[in-house]
Amino acid sequence: MRVSTRVEYGLMALVDIAIHSENGESVSTTEIADRQGISQKYLEQILPLLRQAKLIKAQKGLRGGYRLTKPAEEISLAEILNALDDSILAPMDVPKNEGNDALRGCLNDCLWKKINEQLAEFAKHKTLGEFLVECRGKLADGWDLYII
């Protein structure tokens, strides 16, 4: 499956915000861009999408930045994906079978539609909180490689 950089970077930014704002502090675009290697200009185009979806809120001022609007356990992956690209989880538009195109119809009904439905169901039930737990586990495992 291929996703756009907007979706990939948006998800990275949201995870970064979730991790670094747990103690109530806001996370600036500069901090996210530096930590994740994302262009700050591009990030400033992506974050408003998450804000419009009411997943993050902005705080102005000297220590301004972004925080989650609700606990990570209450944010579904579907909400995030739909905020960044509403076509990923959209039902497939299956073309009508014309003539002897029975095999294409079978592929669409028996494979592509089912894959799309499974992805949508997974995204609906997977939360940002669960994702964070898995990420922390993977990141913690990687730290062992750097101990001298």
52-83 per-position pLDDT tens digit:
999 999 988 878 899 999 999 999 999 999 99
Give the domain extent around 130: 5-146
pLDDT reading at 2 higher than 90:
no
CATH of the domain at 99: 1.10.10.10
The tally of domains found in the chain comes to 1
> Model confidence at 146, in pLDDT bands (50, 70, 90)?
very low
Residue with tokens 């109530």: 24
pLDDT value for 110: 84
pLDDT value for 142: 57
DSSP assignments along 60-108, one per residue: -STT-EEEESS-GGG-BHHHHHHHH-TTSSSPP-PPPP-SS-HHHHHHI
